[in-house]
Structure formats: structure tokens, C-alpha cells
Amino acid sequence: MEKLKEEAKRITSLEIQGATNVALNAIRLLMEYACRIENKCNTFEDWKEKLEEAKVVLFKTRETEPAMRNGLNYITRMLEKNKERIENGEILDLIETFQGDYKNMIETAREKIAEIGARRFPNDSSEDEFTVMTHCHSSFVNAILMKAKSQGKRFKVIATETQPKLQGRKTVKKLVEVGVEVIHVVDSAMRWAVNNYEVDLILIGADSVTSEGTVLNKIGSRLLALVAHEEHVPFYVATTLLKYNPKTSFGILEKIEMRSPEEIWKNSPKGVQIINPAFETVSRRYIDALISEGGIFASSHVHGYFNKLYPDLAETF
């Protein structure tokens, strides 16, 4: 368990960034932990107890990560359904299989989202380039942009730096590598950029989606949504439904992760209180639609699509 806790610190410290990467690394760590304790468990109940303890450790690494929680819950839920095979010594093979299943769910979702989202980019070759704005770094947003680029569509991207960890620069570097024109601005220049560059579409990712259709994403996302609302710019959220938090349909509130003040200002003057929320909510009223593997629809419909596409996860709660 101590080794698991030590390895889990890479998620807590943001050495591993992005909701998708966090989810994939968490299920990998669960698999590695299971390998280490194989000789300590003889029955299904033994395994269940140990894996539930491991899940608690991994859940605590990041508060706002339903994609990770859904992945870990999927594995333990599927093990529960196959417990007779566990007692026959197939536990590690089963975990590896279910780990692969969840990884495939994410990759399949990314491919579908890229294909669907790229259709929102015009095909014409007019002189005026289509302009997209984004905030932070989202593998699903990037997948859409990369797909549109591979289809020969002409567009440029305005990307924020995303304080305090500058995750927006990851987006910039990936786009520049494939020849996309990028304009990079500080977070506080969001409204200025929309006004001065005639933005056609704003596209962000998500770390969590609630049953009411509220999206949680990097701090600054709501500001950008308000700018979109003010300037009448379409505002879309690209996300897999695996980032939906099913517990919110039972009254549980999604938490906002508070990060270390040192990420903002190391060795700050004594007496200064520094608040560092990692995420903020974006109300469904400011979201034109989610772009997901289930299609494009109002964010308030997420619960129904999630239950339809991922019934095994819906049974978890």
C-alpha cells in the first residue's frame, strides 16, 4: 500500500495532468497494486477489501476526476460480476482485461468526438479563416482540432496560457507541430481576444459533468463562457460521457479541488492569503451543447446518454 501511495503522488502533484491521463494512470496503478498483493489474497472477499482500499487512495489524489473514479469503479464492478473466476485464480487476467476495456472506451470516445466535432468546422475555402478559441488543455478538444486539420479545413486557434500551471501551452505546442496557426494570450485577455479576432466558436474540455448539465473545467472557463454569452459566440464543451459523475443524480455535489498556494506564489509575503481553486462551474445556460461520443446535445441530457452508452457504469451506484 505504501508503494501505491507514493506512486499516487504523481497524480496529486500534477506530474500527471489531464483528466484522461489521470484516469488511465489510476487504472494502471490499480493493476500494478493487484500484482503486488496476489499472494496475500485467497478469496473474492480478500480481493474486494484490498482493491477498495486502493481505490480510496487513488480517489483522494484528485477530487474533481470522475473519469478516474468511473474507471476504477468499472473494474471493481466487473470483478464483482465475475467473482467465481477470481477464486479460480484469474484475478490478474480479469483486471488486465477490464483495464483494457476502459482504455478502449476512452480511445473510441475520443475518435468519435473528433469526427463529430470536426463537422462544426466549415469546408469552404473562403479568405476569412474560421477562428476557434479554447482554454487550458483538453485531449478531446485537441482531437477535434487535429481531425479538422487533417481534413484540410482552414482555421486558426486562440489559446489561453491558463494560469497558474500554464497547461494552455501544451495545446499550443501540439497545434503548432501540425501547422495550425495559433494566437496565444494571457487568461485576462479572453474578452479582448474575442472582441478583436471575431471568434466563430469557443471550444473547451471538461473535468466533470453533473446530472444537471453543469460542467466543471479549469478555472477561467466560466469567464470565457460569459464572454461567449455576451458576444453571441457559440460555446461548446467537448467531453467523453465517462467524465459524467453519476452520484450527482442522487444529490451528491461535485467538489472543486483546491490546489497549493505555492503554485501561484512561492515564498509569498507573510499574512497574504492565497486561494487556488483548480476548477469552476459552467452553468448549462451558457453551454450551447456537449460534443460527446453520444452526439451533440444539451448538457442537461447527459444522464440519459450515459446510462444508455455505459450501463455497467450506471449500475455502480
User: Locate cell 469557443: which residue?
Assistant: 202
Burial readout 203-227 (b: 16 or more C-beta within 10 A, e: otherwise): bbbbbbbbbebbbbbbbbbbbbbbb
Catalytic residue among 41, 101, 207, 312: 207
204: β partners: 237
The C-alpha cell that represents 83 in the structure block = 467473482
- Pair type for strands 235-238 and 155-160: unpaired
DSSP of 110-168: HHHHHHHHHTTS-----SS-EEEEE-S--HHHHHHHHHHHHTT--EEEEEE--TTTTTH
- Is there a contact between 207 and 279 (Cβ–Cβ < 8 Å)? yes
Tell which residue, 209, 200, 203, has the closest CA to residue 225: 203
Strands 208-209 and 235-238: unpaired
Whether the CB-CB separation of 239 and 139 falls below 8 Å is answered with no
Q: For residues 51 and 241, what is the distance between their CA atoms, to the nearest angstrom?
A: 25
Among 136, 187, 200, 288, the one annotated catalytic: 136
Cα Rg, the chain, nearest whole Å: 21
Q: Is residue 41 annotated as part of the catalytic site, yes or no?
A: no
DSSP code for 278: S
Q: How far apart are CA 254 and CA 256, in angstroms?
A: 7
Q: How far is residue 183's CA from residue 160's CA, in Å, rounded to a whole number?
A: 8
Q: Does the active-site annotation cover 35?
A: no
What SS3 state is found at 317? coil
Indicate which residues carry an active-site annotation: 136, 207
